[in-house]
Structure formats: C-alpha cells, structure tokens
Amino acid sequence: MTSDASNKQIVLVVEDDPMLRGILAEALAGEALVVLTAATGEEALAIAGPLDGQLGLVVTDVLPPHMDGLELADHLAGLSCPPPVLFISGVKVERTLPGPVLAKPFGPVAFLEQVGRMLTVVQQD
C-alpha cells in the first residue's frame, strides 16, 4: 500500500461496543488504511452513501441494535458500487450471510489477515 492518503483504501467499521470499535479502528489504522467508524447501521449508511464506489470494505457486527448486519449489507448492496462486507459475531450464525463471518473473540492477527484477504480481492477486481 502506498503512503499517499488519496490512494489508501477506506474501511468502515460498524460496531455498537465503543471499546471494540476503537480497538478494531486502531488495528486497521496501523495498517495504513483510512478508517471510518459507525455505532449503528443507520450511521453507517449515512457515511457509506456519499462514499459510493470508494469504500474498500465494511466490517459489521451481525447483531447490532436497531439494524442487523444482514439488513445493513442489503442496503449497501443497493449502492452502485457495493463494498464487500466482513461480518463479526459473538454468537453462532445460523443463516447465510453475503460475506465471511469472523467469530468473536478473535485476535488482531486473525482480524487483519481476513481484512487483508478481502482488500486484496477488491484490488484485483
């Protein structure tokens, strides 16, 4: 990845737990990514809309309050250039999601490896 901020990939982290949201954002920022955060799906959509075509990845909790991760992914799919979505969950997911699921608790290495794989795929497209 380049050090030019205009070429950095943008990752949106959607997590209702402020401590976990901060930890994930800090880990991603250390990887030379532009990191945006949202506490709710509604907040995430407000951020994502104007960035249509610029988001490299959305990381979202499966079961945040008000709007679950699947509903958020459905809304994001309506963008002209929908970003890939990485789901994180502290409970066993019984349904099919339109992206990989990383089970909580997970360590920073597993998280960053999954994010790296997904961003690499995006760069190749």
CB 88 within 8 A of CB 60: yes
| Residue type present at position 84 | P
**Which band of pLDDT confidence, cut at 50, 70 and 90, is reported for residue 1?**
very low
Mean pLDDT, range 83-90, rounded to an integer: 94
Whether pLDDT at 3 is above 50: no
* C-alpha span between 70 and 113 (Å, rounded): 22
* C-alpha span between 35 and 125 (Å, rounded): 21
Contacts of 69 (CB under 8 A, 6+ apart): 14, 41, 60, 61, 62, 63, 85, 87, 89, 97
pLDDT tens digits, 33-71: 999 999 999 999 999 999 999 999 999 999 877 889 999
Q: What's the CATH number for 5-124?
A: 3.40.50.2300
Sheet of 85-89, strands arranged across = 34-38, 10-14, 55-61, 85-89, 101-103
Report the SS3 class of residue 124.
helix
